[in-house]
Chain A
Amino acid sequence: MSTAVTDKTNRLSVTAAGGKMIADYWDGVFNARERGDQVVWYNGQALNPIFQAAGLVWCHGEAFSARLAAQHLEKPAQLAGEEYGYVGELCSYARTHLGCAVLTQQNRQGESTGVVGMPDQQELASKLPAPDFFVNAYSGCSTGQQWDDISFRVFGKEVPIFNVSLPFLWGNKPDSGYLVGEEWEQTSEHVADQLHKLIAFLESMTGRPFDWDALRQNMAYIKRASELRREAMALCKLAPTPATFWDWIASIAHINFLPASQDLVDYFAAVKAEIEQRVAAGISGVHNERYRVYFDGIMNWNKLGWLARKFADHDVAVIAGRYTHHAFWQEPHLIDPENPIKGMAQHYLLCPTNHGTKTIQDLVLRDCAEYGVDGVVFHSTRTCRAFTNPQRLIAKAAQRDLGIPSIFFQGDVADASFYKDDILESQLVAMLEGIDVRRSQAAG
Chain B
Amino acid sequence: MKNSILTLITLIVFSFTAFSQTDGKLVSKKTHFKIYSHTAAEDIEANNYKSVGTINTETGEIVFSVPMQSYEFEKSLMQKHYNSKKFLDTKQFPKSKLKGRITNLADVDFKNDGSYNVNIEGDLTIHGETKKVSEKATITVKGANVVLNTKLNLTLADYAIAFKDGKPSTNIAKVIEVTVVAELILCCYPVSGLYK
- A and B bound? no
